[in-house]
Amino acid sequence: MKRMRFILPVVVCLLLFTAIFTGLLGTDPHAPQFVPVQTQPSGPFKAMFYNWYSVVPVQGGRVWFWTVPAATNGHTQHFLYELKSHRVVGELLNGAPIFANSDQTKLLCEGYSITESLKWKLIRWLQKSSFGRLSQKLNYEQAFWVLDLRNNSAVRVGKVTQAVGSGSSFIPSPGFRFGYNEPSTAKDGELFLCDLESNLFTKIKIEGRPLGWWDGHTILFRDHPNNFSLYDVVTRRTNTVITSAAIATCLQKLNLPDDTADITAICHWNGTDNDILLTKSSEKNWGECFMLKVDRNDLSLKLLYRDFKFQWLGRLDGDCTHYIYEGESGKPGRGGNGGVYLRNLTNGTTLTLVEPDNGGYSLASFCDGGVIYSRKRLLWRVDLDGSNNAPLIRESPR
């Protein structure tokens, strides 16, 4: 413990010195930057990934992806790919992209953190000492920057703390001005809100469980009486929009199970806004259940599907008439077979877009009249009829 009493003041002093030094320089050499590409990247890559887990992985015909280099001394690169031109248009340096605003002039990034960098130096020192076990319990910090792509200027806006071995992601609002994050270390209902318009990063509190965005500035959440309520991030006001009793009445009229305790909402991006779909929380990952849609005009509930079959990692298209999902090589969630399947919900037919190869999960998403997916370490795109199946980037020979 004597060592720790000595180390912590030193770390604090280093933090202050670094912050002052950076301020005197006026610029931060670690700040994110966007660089237009001169030549197309060609690898070889150990792997390529994209933000499949994002509610809008493809925004405005563009998708961010990152590569893991084949060489051991290489580094991860983040590229912006334009689907229409079939080209990489730029690279993000010193950061990882999260989401951009509507005209893609501002980009929220995860980037360099002075305190986290120094903490890792401390952890490496602890791992060599008798305090090695203590280093395994330290939380880690994520620092966030807003990069203005018009003049390539970046400002650090905030940070969150995550528990070791866990994490969270930002959920962007329709309109892409706001995004919220619920860190793994947060207390119940505690969220961090980023405003790309004003470069503000603030902590907010919601009395319930956040489910997504109702509209461009309102978060939908399930409150403690099991009603669906809204939290306006601009006015900071809350109001109930659909009561648990109203849901139960609707379910009874439709001759559906009327237990509302298990009902959850899916805030589904339709290309311009979010549709609010209601179903059972216990079935939405792998199961069969009804699906209701909220009518925004009168807040009534319309039956969309009576017996919808959810598949592992499945996704609906914008108008909820088609559904893509993974093939399974074993029990749900235990491993994908590499296949991509398209179910037509209007006639009940299923098309195999990509034949299985036992290569794991394909992580497929709808994008601009086709589907983007992962296979054999690369990202591919295929049309909705199974044609034009090709990788986004063709690798150079090893």
Residue from 66, 28, 24, 30 nearest 45 by CA: 66
Q: What's phi and psi for 298, nearest 5 deg?
A: -125, 5
Specify the long-range contacts of residues 351-356, CB closer than 8 Å, at least 24 apart: 351/385, 351/386, 352/386, 353/324, 353/382, 353/384, 353/386, 353/389, 354/380, 354/382, 354/386, 354/389, 356/327, 356/329
* pLDDT the model gives residue 345: 97
Instruction: Name the amino acid, one letter, at 139.
Output: N
Give the residues of the chain that fall short of pLDDT 70: 1-27, 71-74, 114-137, 330, 332-333, 396-398
309: Cβ contacts below 8 Å, ≥ 6 apart:
287, 288
pLDDT at 311: 93
| CA–CA separation, 58 and 150 (whole Å) | 21
Looking at residue 46, its pLDDT comes to 87
Given the structure tokens 């965005």, which residue do they identify?
213
- pLDDT value at position 122? 53
Give residue 119's pLDDT.
53
pLDDT of residue 19: 45
